[in-house]
Amino acid sequence: MDLDDLSKSGIRRIADYSPYLDQLAGLAQQMGLRQRSNLTHVESCLRRHWALGQNSILSWAPLDKSILILVVPHYAIAEYTSKKEGERRPRVSPQFITELISGDRKLTISQMQKVAQLLEIEPKTIPLREPLAGSEVETQIIEKMIRKYGINYVPSRAVTLFDIVGFSLLTPFEQMTQLNSLSYSLNSAHAKLLEQDVNLDFARSSSGDGFYIWNRDEGLEANVTLYHFMHIVLADNAIAKIKSTSKAVPELRACFHVGSCYEFHQAEGLNPTTHDFIVGDVTIELARMIDAALPGQILVGDFMADIEVVADNGDVSTVPNVDAVTFLQRAQGDLKQLSGMVLSGDRVTAIKCYLTGEKMGDGVFNIRRLVIKDKHGLSRVAFNAKVNIYREEAQPILLGIQDKKLPAPAET
């Protein structure tokens, strides 16, 4: 299906303010013209109910020739979990609201009625031009529409933060060129991963001095992929810095962490922004860690995440809540898929990533736990990471700081 066909079918009209439909354009070929037109109508109705961000859409449920949606004022989500004067407890528990804005938003009619009664709201009806087909692609698109017009909670998402060292001391022109250089490294790293058949649906949000980066895909593989993406970005930046004779290329420091966050879209003109934003425990931890990071340093947070274990018979099982050290050992095992990547004209032969520590003897090293204390007096644990990228006909790219060069006050 070419662009003209997409335009005639109506799917491109949705894509103008729904970039995820561009990503699903290939899948949309499975839909007929009426079905695509139906989705255009649903998107238009959702946008009206959203009302420039005045409301948030929580859930949806399909009917024969319509769909039901739960719409609440944007401030109501917080009010539901707050006690009103004279009440002993809030109307609903914070856990209930969290579950409602997590994962799939599709409810059964029975579930929709129960939630509406609990929240004391009436579901809104969106009449359809024809009944939903009920296909997986159609449901996936509606789910993405609903999430775009609401707040989404993700219990475990990997996020990395790239920070430009000394950014505030640069001239405005230098700030612009360094942000542009970092942006290019992000795009270049993304392209190199795609060349290796490593999929990454990455999103970015400005931190002022750099970018928060996350993978819109969720799960173990998505988190591991983002960790390796950080390596390639730093390598691309390091190569560019070696070649540059000006201040156009930034000196970076970076942090990686896994934690919970909320995702949302702000209003931009008459539509939601095409870019999503995140805020939550994971971004707070990253901001505190980056303040303590040295120029060129890579810090990894002390997080808990799930990993997959493959048994001898090939069965795959998920082990929940493993620590950061175990997670990164799992990530090291996936680096072979990046062998053969070309960086600055030289083919990569091996990549080694590890957490640093003191030498214990017989070639064995421990892993040092660094205690970081922020301006509020709160402490957190982080690990110092090193990444060595070996190339066929060039010097290896050594990223991060050696453990012996860390200042003594950072130690436990």
Report pLDDT digits (tens) over 227-252: 989 999 999 899 888 888 888 999 99
Name residue, tokens 């090193």: 386
- Domain-wise residue ranges, the chain: 3-148, 154-410
Give pLDDT, residue 14: 37
Q: pLDDT band at residue 25, thresholds of 50, 70 and 90?
A: low
Average pLDDT, the chain: 83
Residue 89 is encoded by which pair of tokens?
């407890």
Give, in degrees to the nearest 5, the angle at Cα 322 between 321 and 325.
150
* Torsion of the alpha carbons at 400, 406, 409 and 411, rounded to the nearest 10: 80
Per-residue pLDDT tens for 102-145?
989 999 999 999 999 999 999 999 999 888 888 888 898 899 88
Give pLDDT, residue 310: 56
Query: What CA–CA distances, in Å, run from 5 to 9, 33, 100, 112, 397?
Result: 6, 10, 37, 37, 47
d(CA 135, CA 194): 28
> In angstroms, what is the C-alpha Rg of the chain?
24
d(CA 153, CA 151): 7
CATH hierarchy code of domain 154-410: 3.30.70.1230
Closest CA to 248 of 304, 182, 317, 314: 182
User: Contact, 217 vs 223, CB < 8 A?
Assistant: no
Per-residue pLDDT tens for 341-368?
887 777 888 888 889 888 777 767 788 8
Asked if pLDDT for residue 291 goes beyond 60, the answer is yes
Per-residue pLDDT tens for 60-80?
999 888 999 999 998 888 888
Give pLDDT, residue 315: 66
